[in-house]
Amino acid sequence: MAERETSAVANPSPLGLSAFALTTFVLSSANAGLFTGDKIVIGLALFYGGIAQLLAGMWEFRAGQTFAALAFTSYGAFWLAVGYSLQNALIPNPTALGWFFLAWTIFTFLLLTATLRTDGALIGVFFFLTLTFLSLTIGALGGGTTWTNIGGWLGIITAALAWYRALSLTLAAGKSAFGLPIYPM
């Protein structure tokens, strides 16, 4: 019987980070006031930010990467919930949305604490994501549109950092002529 060759399996983190970044960028751009009509994010939230990120999370479980599995699966489910809620007009009022954001602020802060011994790029993603959710929480709970706009700009920074880390991991996995540092702790 011939010996089986084992093939390398790709790192799912660049997919999860990219799905998170792109979807976050589009909705955050609307929150920052760069355009009107946040419904454009529905398809992204359901399919790229939602399903693709959820799949990345499942593949991280298989790879034994507990933190990445938890983060990608959770934020994939977040985007599915956001997309479904926007599509079906299920957000009853700003206060309910504020409590939704507050729960995600708390969860994201907990994940931020888990990144502190990883790398600067990942810490940056979770630090700015925590600030993004906190700003959106304040805005939805009565702080006004200024806080939502601030949350939008912070979300754009978050997306840029997530894309940076995704590109860094992608370059490191291939035969790139250059790499991008992620600043290991």
pLDDT digits (tens, 9 = 90+) for 114-155: 999 999 999 999 999 999 999 999 999 999 999 999 999 999
Q: Which pLDDT belongs to residue 7? A: 57
pLDDT at 4 over 80: no
pLDDT > 90 fraction of the chain, expressed in percent and rounded: 92
Is residue 55 within 8 Å of 64, Cβ to Cβ?
A: no
CA atoms within 13 A on the CB side of 121: 18
Note the pLDDT tens digit of each residue in 65-97: 999 999 999 999 999 999 999 999 999 999 999
pLDDT at 1 over 70: no
Which of 63, 94, 59 lies closest to 76 in space, CA to CA? 59
156 burial via Cβ count (<10 Å: 0-12, 13-18, 19+): buried
Q: Which pLDDT belongs to residue 87? A: 93
The pLDDT mean for the chain works out to 95
Chain Cα centroid distance, residue 53: 9
